[in-house]
């Protein structure tokens, strides 16, 4: 059958993290690998009540096909919710998606012809790379800095490309507590990148799953809000990290011509987002005490982060050459180990030690990979698991440094 597959699919291997999760079935393994919010902070009662009510009172419509752009009630609730983040939009600026990953898929389909260029940070979200790879994207990619994108480097790179007649299609960013690095873009850089986008007429795709999850420091305006809905930014949001990921609901916001086309594409790929799930999100936005909910989630995650950072300090003194980011929010941090370590090999040694992480290479496009980095999710494991897991990570690194290599990939 393989020879009948579309050319682009022949070597396509999907989102690599998904494949690695098969190593995590052993309950003895402490996983820092997923991107999982903790089920301890899901508002389970509210979700259950909303689901029961929707089916009891409205089963005819809840179980039917529903409008492609999304439920009016949810879109209205989202428009209200966004006002609390200084984003003021109209109904023609929003479309409901079936999760953040779907939002990314739609963006790739709308903008990218084969070999088209996307401007990205290195590293960046592996799921975005996987979505854009489906369109055979190419990249202008610059190392992310402590305060976010290398805006100057991007500006030079874009100028260069334009002088060769090559027009990048969009700039993809996760400005708040980036997945995977945990880095947050400074206000100066948000303003600078917006100006740069406007100067070169390249839209910014601002992916914001983690904005609500700030544990310390100053809340910074989104690039979308800085643009004041002038059409230079497309915002991607999801309920996955603020409510729960199983529900698979998100939303894209942006200029009406973009939203209309995204809706046409959605109609051709998944049609509608399940109304039941949308109704649960509407109930979450309208009936939940959001401040209290986010406070609870933030206190919970902040404690985990502080445990993780403490365990890193304890296990990895400076002489080990192991470095890590210290995020102000989100669910991830990024570890860099000395260059002679390959974190894919280390992954299999770590599995032997019963601890897992995401080898950083999946957060780079092919040809631009770095092999001495890893992504850590600190939000899911318990505090005891964090302490034990970091110790196991140290043991795996020590074994690697002592010359041991994995005996082969485990089955
Ligand atoms: C930056 C970023 N964008 C998008 C997504 C996808 O979110 P969803 O679970 O809603 O598909 C994630 C999930 O981890 C993410 O980190």
Q: Which residues in 5-39 are b (16+ Cβ under 10 Å) and which e?
A: eeeeeeeeeebbbeebeebeeeeebbbbbbbebee
Same domain, 89 and 224: yes
pLDDT given for residue 408 in this prediction = 64
**pTM more than 0.85:** yes
Q: State pLDDT tens for residues 266-320.
A: 999 999 999 999 999 999 999 999 999 999 999 999 999 999 999 999 999 999 9
Tally the residues of the chain: 411
350/23: higher pLDDT: 350
**Hey, what long-range contacts does 160-164 have (CB within 8 A, 24 or more apart)?**
161/117, 162/200
238 lines ligand 1 (CB under 6 A): yes
Asked whether residue 198 falls in the same domain as residue 279, the answer is yes
99 lines ligand 1 (CB under 6 A): yes
Q: Assess whether pLDDT exceeds 60 at residue 411.
A: no
**Shortest-distance Cα residue to atom 8 of ligand 1:** 100
CA distance linking residue 232 with residue 255, whole number of Å: 8
Rounded to the nearest integer, the mean pLDDT of the chain is 95
Orientation angle between helical segments 126-133 and 100-111, nearest 10 degrees: 40
pLDDT class of 16 with cuts at 50, 70, 90: low
- The tens digit of pLDDT for each residue in 171-202 reads 999 999 999 999 999 999 999 999 999 999 99
Q: Which of 185-199, 207-221, 368-382 has the lowest mean pLDDT?
A: 368-382
Q: Retrieve residue 200's tokens.
A: 């070169």
Separation of CA 165 and ligand 1 centre (Å): 33
Based on the domain organization, do 99 and 161 belong to the same domain?
A: yes
Distance CA 307, CA 203 (A): 39
Closest to 106 (Cα-Cα) out of 95, 116, 119, 90: 95
Examine the domain organization and report whether 104 and 62 are in the same domain.
Answer: yes
Q: Is the CB of 123 under 6 A from ligand 1?
A: no
pLDDT at position 12: 83
- Give the per-residue SS3 of the chain: CHHHCCHHHHCCCCCHHHHHHHHHCCCCCEECCCCCCCHHHCCHHHHHHHHHHHHHHHHHHHCCCCCCCCCHHHHHHHHHHHHCCCCCCCHHHEEEECCHHHHHHHHHHHHCCCCCEEEEEECCCHHHHHHHHCCCCEEEEEECECCECCHHHHHHHHHHHHHCCCCCCEEEECCCCCCCCCCCCCHHHHHHHHHHHHHHCCCEEEECCCCCCECCCCCCCCHHHHCCCCCCEEEEEECCCCCCHHHCCEEEECCHHHHHHHHHHHHHHCCCCCHHHHHHHHHHHHHCCHHHHHHHHHHHHHHHHHHHHHHHHHHCCHHHCCEECCCCECCEEEEECCCCCCHHHHHHHHHHCCEECEEHHHHCCCCCCCCCEEEEECCCCCHHHHHHHHHHHHHHHHHHHCCCCCCCCCC
Residues 365, 282 share a domain:
no
* Residues 83 and 176 placed together within one structural domain of the fold: yes
Domain count, the chain: 2
Whether 37 is in the pocket of ligand 1, judged by its Cβ within 6 Å, is: no
Ligand 1 within 6 A of CB of 35: yes
pLDDT of 10 reads 84
Residues 6+ apart with CB under 8 A from 25: none
Quote the tokens at residue 228.
């004041």
In a shared domain, residues 81 and 225: yes
pLDDT class for 396, splitting at 50, 70, 90? very high
Strand partners, 205: 172, 234
Domain edge (last residue) among 290, 314, 348: 290
Same-domain status, 132 and 276: yes
Tell me: pLDDT of 355 over 60: yes
Provide the pLDDT for residue 256. 98
Final residue before a domain boundary, out of 242, 264, 290: 290
Domain of residue 317 covers 2-42+292-401
Q: Does any domain span residue 406?
A: no
Confidence band of 18 (pLDDT split at 50, 70, 90): low
Q: Is the CB of 377 under 6 A from ligand 1?
A: no
Report the separation in Å between the CA atom of 337 and the middle of ligand 1, taken as the mean of its atom positions: 26
Confidence at residue 81, expressed as pLDDT on a 0 to 100 scale? 98
pLDDT computed for residue 407 by the predictor: 76
- Residue 201: give its domain's CATH number: 3.40.640.10
Structure token pair of residue 80:
């209200």
* Among 299, 205, 218, residue whose Cα is nearest residue 252: 205
Whether residue 119 is contained in a domain is answered as yes
pLDDT, tens digit, 9 for 90 and up, residues 126-178: 999 999 999 999 999 999 999 999 999 999 999 999 999 999 999 999 999 99
Q: Which is the closest atom of ligand 1 to the Cα of 332?
A: 16
Is 34 touching ligand 1 by the criterion CB < 6 Å?
Answer: no
Give the whole-angstrom CA distance, residue 233 versus residue 202.
9
Q: Are 253 and 313 found together in one domain?
A: no
Which ligand 1 atom is at minimum distance from the Cα of 249?
10
Residue 407 maps to a domain? no
Report the range of poorest mean pLDDT among 31-35, 109-113, 333-337: 31-35
Task: Summarize the confidence of residues 220-225 as an average pLDDT.
Answer: 98
pLDDT at 406 over 90: no
Same structural domain for residues 153 and 174? yes
- Is pLDDT of 329 > 80? yes
Asked if 21 and 59 sit in the same domain, the reply is no
Residue 239 Cα: closest atom of ligand 1: 10
The per-residue pLDDT for 38 is: 85
The residue-averaged pLDDT of 205-233 equals 97
> Which of 330, 277, 287 lies closest to 305, judged by CA?
330
CA distance 343 to 405: 11
Query: Residue 198 corresponds to which tokens in the numbers above?
Result: 């406007």
Higher per-residue pLDDT: 385 or 18 = 385
Position of tokens 């979200």?
125
Atom of ligand 1 minimally distant from the CA of 178: 1
The confidence score (pLDDT) of residue 409 equals 61
Pull the structure tokens for residue 118.
């996307």
* 126 Cβ below 6 A of ligand 1: no
- Tokens 């986008």, located at residue: 197
Q: Model confidence at 19, in pLDDT bands (50, 70, 90)?
A: low
192 CA distance to ligand 1 middle (Å): 25
Residue 209 pLDDT > 70, yes or no?
yes
Residues 174 and 81 in one domain: yes
Q: Flag whether 409 is in a domain.
A: no
């Amino acid at each position: 059958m393989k020879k009948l597959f579309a050319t682009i699919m022949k070597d396509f291997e999907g989102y690599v993290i998904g494949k690695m999760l098969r190593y995590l079935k052993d309950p003895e393994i402490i996983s820092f690998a997923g991107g999982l919010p903790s089920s301890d902070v899901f508002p389970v009662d509210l979700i259950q009540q909303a689901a029961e009510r929707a089916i009891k009172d409205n089963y005819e419509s809840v179980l039917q096909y529903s409008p492609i752009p999304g439920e009016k009630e949810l879109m209205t609730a989202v428009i209200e919710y966004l006002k609390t983040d200084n984003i003021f939009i109209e109904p023609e600026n929003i479309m409901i998606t079936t999760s953040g990953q779907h939002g990314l898929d739609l963006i790739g389909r709308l903008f990218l012809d084969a070999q088209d260029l996307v401007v990205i940070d290195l590293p960046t979200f592996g799921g975005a790379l996987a979505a854009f790879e489906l369109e055979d994207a190419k990249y202008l990619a610059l190392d992310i800095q402590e305060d976010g994108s290398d805006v100057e480097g991007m500006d030079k790179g874009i100028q260069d490309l334009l002088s060769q007649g090559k027009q990048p299609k969009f700039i993809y960013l996760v400005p708040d507590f980036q997945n995977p690095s945990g880095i947050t873009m400074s206000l100066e850089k948000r303003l600078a990148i917006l100006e740069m986008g406007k100067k070169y007429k390249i839209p910014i795709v601002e992916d914001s799953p983690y904005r609500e999850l700030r544990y310390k420091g100053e809340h910074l305006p989104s690039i979308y809000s800085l643009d004041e809905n002038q059409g230079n930014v497309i915002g991607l949001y999801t309920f996955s990290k603020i409510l729960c990921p199983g529900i698979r609901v998100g939303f894209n916001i942006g200029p009406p011509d973009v939203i209309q086309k995204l809706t046409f594409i959605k109609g051709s790929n998944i049609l509608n987002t399940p109304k039941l799930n949308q109704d649960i999100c509407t109930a979450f936005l309208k009936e939940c005490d959001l401040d209290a909910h986010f406070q609870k989630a933030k206190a919970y995650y902040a404690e985990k982060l502080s445990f993780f950072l403490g365990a890193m300090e304890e296990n990895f003194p400076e002489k080990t050459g192991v470095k890590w980011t210290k995020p102000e929010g989100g669910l991830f941090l990024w570890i860099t180990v000395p260059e002679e370590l390959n974190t894919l090999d280390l992954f299999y040694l770590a599995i032997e030690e019963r601890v897992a992480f995401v080898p950083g290479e999946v957060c780079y496009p092919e040809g631009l990979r770095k092999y001495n980095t890893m992504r850590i999710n600190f939000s899911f494991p318990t505090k005891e698991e964090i302490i034990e897991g970091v110790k196991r990570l140290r043991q795996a690194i020590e074994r690697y440094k002592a010359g041991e290599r994995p005996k082969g990939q485990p089955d």
